[in-house]
Amino acid sequence: MTRLFILAMACMTLLLPNQLLARDLARGKEINKNCALCHGKYGQGTPGGISPRLAGLPKEYLIKAITDYREGRRSNLLMDTTSGIKDMSDEDIEAIADYLSRIDVSKDSQFDIKAKDGDPKKGKKIYKGDCKTCHARDGFGKPKKEAPPIAGQHLDYIEASIRLFKSKKREHANDPEDETFDDYSDDEIRDVLAYIATLDNARFVEGATVYVPQVSAIAVAKAHEAAPKGSKGLQITDISQTVARMALKEGVTAQDAIDAMMSKAAEINLKMVGQQFVSKELEARGVETPYLTILQFCDPMDARTMIMSNPIFASYMPCRIAIVEDKEGKLALMMLNLDMLIDSKLLAPEVVETAIRVNQAMLDIMVAGATGEF
């Protein structure tokens, strides 16, 4: 009996770390629902300088970056509002960092980073002189130096970071006195970016696809149940992520939200193509109903890209945001979550980028409406 007991205890001891890992990965996957709205389901990011690639970044680097946003050392209104990052615990941050760090898109050529301009030969000389020591010859970083991979990172984001380093609005290499980029010309920035764009090619494997850590549906369901309720961030209404919901900030009226959303849409060149005052129309007919107004937005060129890929996506257009009153009389914004499209096997990579960009634009509008600011 004693021997069997010892054997059973040993087995439980061996299983415990795996159970804890599965729980933490499940929590990370649950948190990633909100991250995916801008960074993509696989943390692949998107061009444009807003949403960098997070997949495969070192866990400790991600923990530091996320913590900096939580503590206000770095700031992004869209991220602050949609992710609920200000309310994340240290355990939440570790879970999402662990999950994203384990995703590997580096072998999948559909995530290839390509330069629009610049001379990679000139950029190679700059890279070898200023970047190789920390970010490694292959560009995939050196964790010991706390230098993240830049191979496979979106060039717009790297360029935006370089310009922040030049202006001293961000610290490069955690050194406020760093002068690496002070004398870079615009041409030199383009050249080094052009060379960085070539570095991810070395890891591509024909037929390889993205690797995502496997988490059981049961573990994910438990993580969803255990997640803190009443988060101030964006709420995904169900496991399939069909709808994104954001409550209006206290003191923001429905008209405030409408005015802010219309102004933000105009600012980011997204056209408002429709407005339906549903509850107002019903009340005019003598039908009592909770408040409901629907705004419709569209970018004709993005719509064209989606339709040319597959006409079935016309059913998602124009993009809609509804202002809805619940049973307690509280107002919230609702929109269809285009993450469903982003994960679709029907879409080519360039169309996925369009879907992510549209998602970001709609989230920008939602944030403006929810806060009454633009």
How far apart CA 233 and CA 267 sit, in angstroms, is 23
| Domain count within the chain | 2
CB 93 within 8 A of CB 64: no
Flag whether pLDDT at 23 surpasses 80: no
Domain annotation covers residue 129: yes
220-231 pLDDT, tens digit per residue, is 667 666 665 555
Q: Are residues 197 and 335 in the same domain?
A: no
pTM: 0.72
For residue 245, name the pLDDT band (cuts at 50, 70, 90): confident
Q: Are residues 198 and 239 in the same domain?
A: no
Domain that holds residue 269: 234-371
How far apart CA 331 and CA 323 sit, in angstroms, is 7
Domain annotation covers residue 7: no
Task: Report CA torsion sign: 17, 23, 28, 29.
Answer: positive
Q: Are residues 192 and 337 in the same domain?
A: no
147-196 pLDDT, tens digit per residue, is 999 999 999 999 999 999 999 999 898 899 999 999 999 999 999 999 99
Q: What is the CATH number of the domain that holds 171?
A: 1.10.760.10
**Rg value, the chain, Cα:** 23
Q: Are residues 101 and 198 in the same domain?
A: yes
Domain annotation covers residue 4: no
Name the burial class of residue 127, with classes exposed (0-12), middle (13-18) and buried (19+) by CB atoms within 10 angstroms of its CB.
Answer: buried
Angle at 101 between CA 100 and CA 107, to 5 degrees: 100
Q: What is the CATH number of the domain that holds 312?
A: 3.30.310.70
Domain annotation covers residue 357: yes
Q: Are residues 57 and 130 in the same domain?
A: yes
Domain annotation covers residue 120: yes
Kind and range of the H or E run holding 33: helix 2-39
Range with the poorest average pLDDT among 157-161, 243-247, 327-331, 342-346: 342-346
Flag whether pLDDT at 136 surpasses 50: yes
Domain boundary, last residue among 203, 226, 254: 203
Mean residue pLDDT of the chain comes to: 86
Any idea what DSSP says for residue 120? H
**Pairing between β-strand 331-336 and β-strand 292-298 as defined by DSSP bridges:** unpaired
Domain boundary, last residue among 203, 225, 251: 203
For residue 15, name the pLDDT band (cuts at 50, 70, 90): very low
